[in-house]
């Protein structure tokens, strides 16, 4: 195995200079193939409230320049333990959701060919469905570990079946999910009706809400999370609105009472030893961000996931 090519050396090139890739990593065409590819999906046609997540991938990349090559709590150098590269953006049709979904699925198949794992920067949460379709071909039903303020298992919006609030209902209906191991984390806020929760259970999800963090504590929540995931292949989907608006104001559907960035990062860090097969970070809308708070949080989420993949090798 050749020595991985890492990020631009910050002792030689200032952090505000260098390539506009995630963490100033090499482009995928510069390394041939990658163990982990960071790919953007600039798509937000599926949003139901604030638009703007189509600009999320570029914002997260710009906010990732301060990331460093050593992760102390996990004792891993994620860019040395594996080849990580930036695969650029998937160009999707902003006017046709069905065509965009097909493009994302096809591009995921192509990028994952040869065993590459994807860390995808959205974009709105609609993109999770085609990514799960792609993964299902290789792994069969997968467990979704879903960090979000919202369930995203509603049926339709205005009669539309493919939106950012419906991907996991469609995925469950299509048999893409392992109903014994799926979990929402960070759910909070008002719902449309009590049936939202009962329907969600039928689709195969359990729920850890933000109240559980408050009442049980972080360690107990993580124990529940790992017990639910078990040995299943796990897809981690992080809607940045799982964070409280104080930590991530730049998102499309903010809800009060969310997680702190520290709580979220610690949950992700606790996935060492879990069979993580892919991940996304979605719903970063930079027009509503302040001082890159949301972009920086999302960049660190991606860094934690890449570090977990490095430790799991």
Neighbouring residues of 228: CB distance < 8 A, sequence distance ≥ 6:
143, 181, 182, 183, 206
Binding-site sequence positions: 125, 148, 150, 152, 239, 241
* Contact call for residues 146 and 182 (beta carbons, < 8 A): yes
Helices H / strands E in the chain, number of each: 10, 8
Task: Report how far apart the first and last C-alpha atoms of the chain are (Å, whole number).
Answer: 13
Neighbouring residues of 41: CB distance < 8 A, sequence distance ≥ 6:
57, 89, 90, 92, 104, 120, 121, 122, 123, 127
Binding-site sequence positions for Mn(2+): 125, 148, 150, 152, 239, 241
Angle separating helix axes 218-229 and 261-269, nearest 10 degrees = 40
Instruction: Give buried/exposed letters for 181-200 (b at 16+ CB in 10 A, else e).
Output: bbbbbbbbeeeeeeeeeebb
Neighbouring residues of 92: CB distance < 8 A, sequence distance ≥ 6:
41, 42, 43, 99, 100, 103, 104
Q: Which helix (H) or strand (E) segment is 173 a member of?
A: helix 167-173
């Amino acid at each position: 195995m050749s020595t991985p090519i890492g990020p631009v050396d910050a002792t030689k090139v200032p952090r505000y200079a260098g390539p506009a890739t995630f963490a100033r990593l090499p482009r995928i065409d510069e390394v041939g193939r990658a163990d982990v590819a960071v790919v953007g999906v600039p798509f937000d046609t599926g949003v139901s409230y604030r638009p703007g997540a189509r600009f999320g991938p570029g914002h997260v990349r710009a906010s990732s320049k301060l990331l460093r090559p050593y992760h102390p709590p996990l004792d891993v150098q994620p860019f040395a333990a594996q080849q990580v590269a930036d695969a650029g953006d998937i160009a999707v049709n902003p006017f046709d959701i069905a065509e965009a979904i097909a493009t994302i699925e096809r591009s995921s198949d192509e990028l994952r060919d040869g065993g590459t794992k994807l860390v995808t920067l959205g974009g709105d949460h609609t993109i999770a469905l085609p990514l799960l379709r792609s993964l299902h071909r290789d792994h069969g039903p997968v467990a979704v570990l879903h960090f979000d303020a919202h369930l995203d298992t509603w049926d339709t919006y205005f009669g539309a079946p493919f939106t950012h609030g419906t991907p996991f209902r469609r995925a469950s209906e299509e048999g893409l999910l392992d109903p014994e191991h799926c979990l929402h984390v960070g759910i909070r806020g008002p719902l449309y009706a009590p049936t939202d929760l009962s329907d969600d259970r039928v689709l195969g999800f359990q729920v850890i809400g933000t109240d559980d963090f408050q009442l049980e504590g972080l360690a107990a929540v993580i124990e529940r999370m790992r017990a639910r995931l078990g040995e299943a292949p796990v897809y981690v989907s992080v809607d940045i609105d799982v964070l409280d608006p104080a930590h991530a104001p730049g998102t499309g559907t903010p809800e009060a009472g969310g997680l702190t960035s520290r709580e979220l990062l610690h949950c992700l860090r606790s996935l060492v030893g879990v069979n993580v097969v892919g991940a996304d970070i979605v719903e970063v809308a930079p027009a509503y961000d302040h001082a890159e708070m949301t972009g920086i949080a999302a960049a660190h989420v991606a860094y934690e996931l890449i570090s977990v993949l490095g430790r799991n090798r």
